[in-house]
Structure 1
Amino acid sequence: MWLFSRKGASGFSASSTAEEVTQGIDGTGLTAVVTGASSGIGTETARVLALRAVHVVMAVKNMTAGREVKDTIAKRNPNLATNHVGKFLLTHLLLETMKKTAQGRRTEGRIVNVSSRVILITSLYNSLSAYGQSKLANVLHAKDLARRLKEDEVAITANSLHPGAIATNLFRLVGLVGKYVIKNVEQGAATTCYVALHPQITGKAGLYFADSNVAETSLQANDNALARKLWDFTFTLINNCPNNT
């Protein structure tokens, strides 16, 4: 159950489920690569996209290239390696294929980065700081990628989102309070599926979503110069990775 269920401009709210925000949408002919698809909201995202006739590729984190990148910088920030660099690399490896597909089928491609509202407290010196920095990187990556794709006049959008506080293996809050403020898996996958599939998002790029609506984010997450620096920094890490392909 979710107490705060006021609907936003999209017609959806924090209590909306992935099935609800994609009801009536036909994803036939589309392909989605879903990371983290082995549990929690990743599994639900894959399930609902498949339900809407999308061809779903379930990607795992331990890709060879991703593992090499992680090993290179693990001692510095394992969260950054797992939550940003590996996904950045996967996106880069798939991008040319996505461009050809979008052009050949005249269909808009969509890249969706799952972030977190913990980015709002990344400047604090606490246990969430490193995790928050890695999720901030997801937002900045989507923002700068969206800019680059627009400049290249490519029919692919890139956005980021906060799925909400989810009762999954990654985060559990017990007790009465948790029952009313934590989303279930079906609700947690809603924003991802909404941004990935809903016609309302056509042509929208470089935005941040929460509860299946456009949402405000931090000043750092809107810093274009920082986004460019992160892009260059990430490519430097990847290029310096042993056995880089």
Structure 2
Amino acid sequence: MKQILPALLIGTALLGVQQARTVHAQAASTPKVYELRIYTATAGRLADLESLIGNQGLRTFAKHGIQNVFDGTVLEGAPIDGADASNMLVCIVAHKDRANAEKDWTDFEADRIWKNALAKAETNGPLLSKPTASLLLDTTDFSPALESPTPASAPTRIFELRKYNTGPERLQTTVDEFQQGLGAILVDVGMKPVIYWTADNRSSFVYLIAHKDRETARASWAAFGPKFRPFMAEFNARQVSTTAPPSDSNTPPRRRTPDDNRFLVPTAFSPIR
């Protein structure tokens, strides 16, 4: 795969950003737009990548209006990750608004101090094995307020980033499921939703949740199932009573099989830990 070294943190995926539908746009008073970025380090270079971003990267973020929200390495990857999981750094950042998102990365890329730091870090070879994956995100109306930075004395939690690749056809239904009950069930079984988003391109529903540790996460998901099934039976019954079944046999099923979920360990420089 052709490597795009100068584009380590370039927001190339920000070009041609579509405006989000009202259902998943942030309120006008809080137009902040988030961005999920997944970096895949060259084998053996993850620590170098963390050092670069955790030091000069964060300073350059702040200089150009990019808010660092969460950073984590992968404890358990998604099936689609394969061997790349152990080399991934997952970052969530925020921009003042959609109009500034592309400009933020343009300014970042042109920053002389950043360019020098990147060049020095890549003296012995490229840090990345593939281009950065980027996805703009809008918070939902029912998303919790963003946590304050975690105190240094607080225990480090395990996080779970779940990305449901619904496609535009099924996005609204998934939003409704969480708004009308699934979000409350997550809390009821001991999980802590950090934030809910919809992808700006309407491809997916994304959320970040916190667990005390991996064993607690297993117990929470085990408790989730018995509550999930009756809720979905009731939800589906309401849908059937108000919506005719799809006439096109090629329409994908309403329920999706998540294939993009990861357990993450926050880095030392992650504001939320």
TM-score w.r.t. the length of structure 2 is 0.28
Which structure shows the higher helix fraction?
A: 1
Work out which of the two has the higher radius of gyration on C-alpha atoms and give 1 or 2.
2
